[in-house]
Amino acid sequence: MVTRRLVGLALVAALASACGAADYREPAPAGYPSGTPAECPVSPSPTATASGEAATATLAATETFLRMLDGTRRTVVRDERTPANLAHWSHLPDQLFKRAGLRMDTLSPDERRAAHAILRAALSEEGYRQVLGIAAADGVLADSGGINLDFGADHYWIRILGVPAALGRWTIQYGGHHLGLNITVDGTGMTLAPTLWGAQPASHPSADGGLSEPLCAETHKAFALFNALDEEQRAAATLPAGVAEIVLGPGQDGRTLAPEGVPATTFTEAQRLLLYALVDEWIDALNPSQAAAKREAVRRTVASVTFAWSGSGTLGQPVYYRVQGATFLIEFAHQQGSGPNGGGASHIHAVYREPGADYGAA
């Protein structure tokens, strides 16, 4: 068992080391050195602070942003926190989904900076990098041409649902093409469920000559886990019918999926460490002071976790995977690219949910 644990730790460490350094800055993230396609940006070790600090900082940033707006635009960006309004988000581009709130290109530079300050307060450093990386990929899609739709960092929207306050529940929605953040604050608690992450292209040269891959670790760590399974476990993990797209994306609030795949109860300690490393990538997008309790909940309820897979075990090929347990559900679909970004798996849709507790409902 000690040997298995050391193997698991070595694999986790290798994955972290393989995710070479990146420095993301507005308006686009920097890449990591090119020529190393198996590497991903390193996620800094989360530094947890008091559990309520992130909620307090997010509230302060939101109040600052709202004060900068005139009365008319403040009315536009705010709305009631109703089930219908909470459910009004999508990963589709603007022409295919009518969003509410304020779009980034309608804000002054100072207002736009203040809107991003909200995201910086609510998210971890890595979570905020992910937002910038997705927008950068969308800019590449815009520059590639051949698609008569609006893409890029200007086409993301912000909306505040409910009354931002130290007590009571309220939600920040930020999204656009391939991004749907739902950040709910409830007193000192926060959740990032449901949130959709996506990218097209999934990997592209960055402005500094490196390589940008927004969902790199979420991809590589899943393949590491699948390929660490033995033959019997891989057979149990493989879904009987092929799956190419996420099921519980936008418009699917209140639904869940029956557990499928291989139970984590069959995992060795080394395999379990790889499972935690994968799930933590999704949880750690939230501010570390809030993510810590969610990480602990996964470990406490690991007997409920299942891991399902559809597709090849070869990195770079289209794949769907699902990890779910008592407190979370993750779906990831890496699809065949099309149009100017065709050629291999280059189009990702992924969603993180907390069934029964989306939007802080619990």
For the ranges 30-39, 43-52, 204-213, the one whose mean pLDDT is highest? 204-213
pTM: 0.86
328: nearest Cα among 288, 348, 299? 299
Predicted pLDDT of residue 154:
86
The pLDDT, as a whole number, for residue 3 is: 45
- Residue 348 above 50 pLDDT? yes
* Burial (Cβ within 10 Å: 0-12, 13-18, ≥19) of residue 207: middle
What pLDDT, on the 0 to 100 scale, is given for residue 200?
86
Sequence letter at residue 285: A
Please write the tens of the pLDDT for every residue from 236-264: 999 999 999 999 999 999 999 999 999 99
Predicted confidence at residue 17, as pLDDT, reads 44
Look at residue 212 in the predicted model and tell me its pLDDT. Answer: 79
Q: How confident is the model at residue 183 (pLDDT cuts 50, 70, 90)?
A: very high
| Mean pLDDT score of the chain | 85
Q: Is the pLDDT of residue 12 over 50?
A: no
pLDDT, tens only, 258-295: 999 999 999 999 999 999 999 999 999 999 999 999 99
- Do the bridges between strand 24-25 and strand 306-311 make them parallel or antiparallel, or are there none, so unpaired? unpaired
pLDDT over threshold 60, residue 344 = no
With 70 as the cut, is the pLDDT of residue 143 above it?
no
The answer to whether residues 156 and 65 touch, using CB atoms and an 8 Å cutoff, is no
Name, in order, each residue with C-beta under 8 angstroms of 126's C-beta and a sequence gap of 6 or more.
Answer: 43, 44, 284, 285
**Are the CB atoms for 250 and 89 separated by under 8 Å?**
yes
- Indicate if the pLDDT at residue 311 is higher than 70: yes
Express each pLDDT in 151-174 by its tens digit: 778 899 999 999 999 999 999 999
Q: So what's the pLDDT on residue 338?
A: 52
For residues 46 and 68, give the distance between their C-alpha atoms in angstroms, rounded to a whole number. 31
